[in-house]
Structure 1
């Protein structure tokens, strides 16, 4: 099935033939999604046969990601608790849904969920929210419900725009907001006892890139 708009199928100077190699939105299989994302650096997620293209990361986003990843990795590695990965590992959350959280943690007790191309689950997800309204809705609403349904024990939402780190803890089959941490607070994990991030220092590091 062609994904080329009918009014543009005969437009000159475009390689529309390439587009005809791919399924229409809503008809992608999981294997087709994996094959596509095996060969591109584009930030793409898979939801019920559709591809969701995420915002390309800004330098502020990458600074926050780097700080969070390095802190979490150091904590987990020192205690030999499991694996930490960042922005790229594909995580199958529910049937027909694959996400690419900014930072993930998987405990060693759940290493059976690891595979080379994607993982079948994680214990903790971190999403860094952009100022794009669609991205904010995805992280605050859609992924909040989806990650809970997938049984992800803890979900951090890092919001540079509002300067808040929200830690959500899984209770039953939905999240309870553990705390909203702001400047002056240490954002702490429920799952990883002893892990914390200084919220003021985190956002001030990103502020230096915004000047």
Structure 2
């Protein structure tokens, strides 16, 4: 905890005030395993995720990676990894998929452009951002499909891009199989996501 306080204090002394952060400032930060994001000139640091969050992420990653590799579709990545959605907005999705034909978006330090599929697992401190802010940002960036995974109510909401906004395609609950709308054949039992 002391190391985190020292890091935050160091950042506060050396870098601009909230509302004035640029991509250059963001990329000047030293590497860290913390989730740090940039939007609207503001830097945000998410609290370390809990066990339910991490368990859901692992289950999604394992299932998605097996599916993607078996079908040679592209790459699967997890946070912390910077994704530059558009100028001035850098997020770190919990889980993402990038089609093989979009592999050139991967740079040494970050992914430059929207992923083809994103999942965010809601944590107590990220609910509003995941449900409202990121939903708008991912749609504006052109992410075709967004899964909002909620360990609290054990649901998976699948959003599909229509124009510049998302349409809620389905809400999956325990006992059901969550299915992708854009990755034909990718599915996972809701019980597996929340029971792992």
Q: TM-score, normalised by structure 1?
A: 0.84
Matched position secondary structure for 1:20: helix
Q: 1 CA distance for matches of 2:101 and 2:139?
A: 19
Question: Secondary structure at 2:14's aligned position in 1?
Answer: coil
Unmatched 5+ residue regions in structure 2?
1-7
Matched, 1:66 2:58: yes
**Cα separation, partners in 2 of 1:123 and 1:17, compared to 1, 3 Å:** closer
Say which of 155, 159, 169 aligns to 2:150. 159
Q: Kindly tell me the number of residue pairs found equivalent between the two proteins.
A: 188
Distance of aligned partners of 1:131 and 1:76 in 2 relative to their CA distance in 1, 3 Å threshold: same
Match of 2:117 in 1: 124
Among candidates 13, 37, 42, match of residue 34 of structure 2? 42
Instruction: State the partner residue of 1:31.
Output: 24
Structure 1 unpaired stretches of 5+: 1-14, 206-211
CA apart distance, 1:88: 1.4
- TM-score, normalised by the number of residues in structure 2: 0.91
Q: Which has the larger radius of gyration?
A: 1
How far residue 19 of structure 1 moved from its aligned partner, in angstroms, is 3.9
Tell me the equivalent position of 1:188: 179
What residue is the counterpart of 2:135 in the other structure? 144
The higher relative CO (CA closer than 8 Å, separation ≥ 6) is in: 2
| CA separation of 1:17 and 1:179: change in aligned 2, threshold 3 A | closer
Residue 59 of structure 2 contacts residue 192 of structure 2 at CA under 8 Å; is this kept in 1? no
Alignment RMSD, CA only?
A: 1.6
Equivalent residue number for residue 3 of structure 2: none
What is the alpha-carbon distance in structure 2 between the residues aligned to residue 76 and residue 184 of structure 1?
24
